[in-house]
């Protein structure tokens, strides 16, 4: 079980099952609060803040300074400063320098809120709905407890009531209800997962903003011939499992709590499997993210005996970027899909219904930064466009199957992981109540937004229009081409050319096999046969195949390029 309170890499995790404060006095008397206060003093010292020098001049010892300040805060809950000074003459020196004391309380409150804060509670076998409701209530009570404590102390120090009450996120950013019931598959090599709890539900407090050490992803994931989990050990106090439904597959994602934000963000991207689903079936995909084995790297493995795909990422700051979480899962999905005669698509799909009730199923293929998502959002934003509804089926990865001679497309995710830089700000911030923002102040800032329901993405759809997102051709007067030569069209898709946008370490005009380095590259021989099969089948299904020139990779066209492409697509749909 996770400790009552732990802090690592700016993540603070509170285990409400082990220790939950029932009131303000209990909160300030807790070891958790004392530790945060000590950490804040250490932070002021490390940063060589003037406030630290002012306080340490009163008590020339960090430990004793922390003890004094803690006592002052606890007593201010019930005493005013005059009574406190009379009752404790040894603390008068602090009270004589009230501006410094006020500054300390303000900076302590800010320091607490600067941490990525999470709460967990362990569920019992029965009463799931009641337990979830209790957790939500305790989550809210904890926030009010902190705000109220801060308000009382500040009003005692300033001797005035607050006139503006800001209900900031003072509690935790997210809460997790965990289930510790062992899973049947966790034997032999996979016994390392047996004691690790599985998330049952998540409580998010928007806006959820996360910061990671990295902001781009490198290279592709390599397949290995030996199971990377053999002889590994996982500390059950440091790992949590998110049960994800990746397309039709069940994926168990075991992540290190130092990368809590990566695991929480999965909730906006992949449907969470229910406890019943998790316990009633063997997983199709397993991913161990943040394995502390002293190594460095990522890999995946096909466990043929159990018919499972296994992903692995060693503990390192290098993997502290959501791309390493999401893209490995999609690689596992895609390789398993290829083995099942499916062709994975790196792109976006929308079902577009026009005002005349004609519906078109549009797929746009392209590697990261090609402009597929941006074009669909630009299409959504066109005024008086004759479109009744745009329903996103997938916005990064899908897969197609041959079902009785008909091509059917399926999604893998319920959300979109898109560049904030390339989206219309009005759209991104209109979704602030449910979006997860990643490094919003940096280049390649990202936002993860739910865009579809799980039932919608796994329904299966025909394809009317199959387009390649060309982000490098500068031809605003010819933003969309329908290609009649099947072999030439297929070669455009296979080449996967794009102008790199800084989402990986690539620069300039680059090529990626079938614009999909997440499965097809690793299984090229199998994918070559599938490409021949499906392009022939698309032609037989009378699917139009062409290019959409988004110009997203050409400087100065980041907004106008996708908009022009959207206008061209709209004109085609209105024919």
pLDDT tens, N- to C-terminus, the chain (575 residues): 778 888 887 889 988 888 788 889 999 999 999 999 999 999 999 999 999 999 999 988 999 999 999 999 999 999 999 999 898 998 999 999 999 999 999 999 999 999 999 999 888 655 566 566 777 888 888 999 999 999 999 999 998 876 666 677 888 999 999 998 899 999 999 999 999 999 999 998 878 888 888 888 888 899 999 999 999 999 989 999 999 999 999 999 999 999 999 999 999 999 999 999 999 999 999 999 999 998 889 999 999 999 999 999 999 999 999 999 999 999 999 999 999 999 999 999 999 999 889 999 999 999 888 888 889 888 888 866 789 899 999 988 999 999 999 999 999 999 988 777 766 665 656 667 788 888 888 878 888 888 889 999 999 999 999 999 999 998 878 899 999 999 999 999 999 999 886 555 567 889 999 999 999 999 999 999 999 999 999 999 999 999 999 999 898 888 899 999 999 999 999 88
Which residues belong to CATH 3.90.228.20 in the chain?
343-414+451-573
User: Can you tell me whether residue 563 is helix, strand or coil?
Assistant: helix
How far, in Å, CA of 41 to CA of 58, rounded? 14
Give the rounded distance of the alpha carbon of 100 from its chain centre. 39
| Nearest CA among 90, 119, 98 for reference residue 20 | 119
Q: Using CA atoms in the order 484, 487, 489, 495, what is the torsion angle rounded to 10 degrees?
A: -170
Determine contact, residues 110/40, Cβ cutoff 8 Å.
Answer: no
pTM of the full structure: 0.90
DSSP assignment string, 190-236: GGGGTT--EEEEEEE-SSEEE--S---B-S-PPB-SS-TTTT----T
Looking only at Cα atoms, what is the longest distance across the chain? 91
| Nearest CA among 328, 412, 414, 417 for reference residue 372 | 417
Determine contact, residues 195/236, Cβ cutoff 8 Å.
Answer: yes
Determine contact, residues 357/323, Cβ cutoff 8 Å.
Answer: no
Cβ contacts of 433 within 8 Å, gap of 6 or more: 206, 207
Beta strands at 436-438 and 415-419: parallel, antiparallel or unpaired: unpaired
User: Can you tell me whether residue 381 is helix, strand or coil?
Assistant: helix
**DSSP summary character for residue 412:** S
How far, in Å, CA of 436 to CA of 326, rounded? 14
R_g over Cα of the chain? 27
First to last CA, the chain: 61
- How far lies 106's CA from each of 85, 157, 346, 477, in Å? 21, 11, 48, 57
Total Cβ atoms within 10 A of residue 508: 8
Determine contact, residues 276/219, Cβ cutoff 8 Å.
Answer: no
Determine contact, residues 341/509, Cβ cutoff 8 Å.
Answer: no
How far, in Å, CA of 112 to CA of 416, rounded? 30
Q: How would you label 409-421 residue by residue, b for 16+ Cβ within 10 Å and e otherwise?
A: bbbbbbbbbbbbb
How far, in Å, CA of 201 to CA of 195, rounded? 18
Beta strands at 271-272 and 298-303: parallel, antiparallel or unpaired: unpaired
Q: Note the helical H segments in 231-363.
A: 260-265, 275-280, 322-339
Residue 165: the pLDDT is 67
The secondary structure element, H or E, covering residue 177 is strand 174-179
Determine contact, residues 281/250, Cβ cutoff 8 Å.
Answer: yes
DSSP assignment string, 119-176: EEEE--SS-HHHHHHHHHHHHHHHHHHHHHHHHHHHHHHHTS--S-------S-SEEE
The secondary structure element, H or E, covering residue 253 is strand 249-256
**In terms of C-beta density within 10 A (0-12 exposed, 13-18 middle, 19 or more buried), how is residue 248 classed?**
middle
Assigned CATH for 343-414+451-573 = 3.90.228.20
């Amino acid at each position: 079980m996770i400790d009552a309170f732990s802090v690592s890499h700016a993540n603070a995790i509170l285990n409400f099952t082990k220790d939950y404060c029932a009131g303000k006095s209990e909160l300030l008397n807790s070891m958790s609060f004392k530790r945060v206060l000590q950490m804040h003093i250490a932070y002021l010292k490390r940063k060589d803040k003037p406030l630290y020098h002012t306080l340490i001049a009163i008590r020339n010892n960090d430990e004793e300074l922390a003890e004094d300040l803690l006592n002052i805060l606890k007593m201010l809950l019930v005493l005013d400063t005059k009574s406190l000074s009379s009752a404790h003459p040894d603390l008068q020196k602090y009270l004589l320098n009230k501006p410094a004391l006020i500054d300390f309380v303000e900076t302590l409150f800010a320091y607490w809120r600067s941490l990525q804060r999470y709460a967990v509670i362990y569920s019992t076998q029965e009463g799931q709905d009641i337990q979830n409701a209790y957790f939500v209530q305790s989550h809210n009570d904890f926030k009010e407890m902190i705000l109220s404590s801060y308000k009382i102390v500040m009003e005692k120090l300033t001797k005035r009531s607050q006139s503006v009450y800001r209900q900031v996120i003072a509690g935790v950013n997210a809460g997790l209800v965990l289930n510790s019931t062992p899973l049947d598959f966790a034997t032999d090599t996979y016994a390392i997962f047996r004691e690790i709890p599985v998330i049952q539900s998540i409580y998010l407090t928007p806006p959820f903003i996360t910061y990671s050490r990295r902001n781009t992803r490198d290279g592709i994931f390599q397949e290995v011939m030996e199971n990377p989990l053999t002889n590994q050990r996982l500390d059950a106090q440091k790992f949590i499992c998110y049960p994800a439904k990746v397309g039709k597959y069940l994926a168990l994602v075991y992540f290190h709590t130092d990368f809590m934000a990566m695991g929480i963000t999965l909730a906006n991207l992949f449907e969470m499997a229910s406890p019943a689903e998790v316990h009633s079936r063997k997983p199709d995909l397993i991913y161990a993210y943040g394995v502390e084995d002293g190594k460095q790297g990522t890999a995946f493995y096909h466990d043929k005996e159990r018919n499972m795909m296994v992903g692995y990422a060693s503990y390192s700051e290098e993997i502290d970027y959501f791309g390493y979480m999401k893209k490995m899962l999609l690689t596992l999905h895609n390789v398993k899909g290829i083995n099942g005669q499916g062709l994975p698509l790196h792109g976006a799909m929308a079902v577009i219904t026009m005002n005349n009730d004609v519906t078109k199923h549009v797929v746009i293929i392209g590697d990261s930064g090609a402009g597929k998502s941006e074009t669909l959002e630009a299409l959504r934003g066109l005024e008086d466009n004759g479109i009744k509804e745009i329903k996103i089926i997938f916005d990064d990865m899908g897969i197609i199957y041959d079902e009785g001679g008909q091509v059917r497309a399926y999604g893998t995710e319920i959300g979109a992981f898109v560049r904030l830089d390339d989206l219309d700000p009005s759209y991104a911030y209109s979704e602030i109540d449910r979006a997860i923002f990643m490094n919003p102040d940096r280049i390649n800032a990202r936002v993860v937004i739910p865009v579809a329901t799980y039932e919608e993405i796994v329904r299966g759809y025909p394809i009317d229009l199959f387009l390649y997102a060309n982000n490098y051709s500068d031809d605003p007067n010819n933003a969309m081409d329908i290609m009649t030569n099947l072999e030439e069209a297929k070669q455009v898709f296979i080449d996967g050319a794009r102008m790199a946008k800084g989402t990986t370490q690539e620069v300039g005009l680059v090529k990626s096999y079938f614009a999909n380095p997440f499965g097809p590259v690793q299984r090229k021989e199998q994918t070559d046969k599938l490409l021949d099969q499906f392009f022939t089948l698309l032609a037989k299904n009378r699917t139009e195949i062409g290019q959409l020139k988004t110009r997203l990779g050409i400087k100065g066209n980041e907004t106008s390029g996708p908009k022009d492409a959207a206008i061209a697509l709209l004109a085609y749909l209105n024919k």
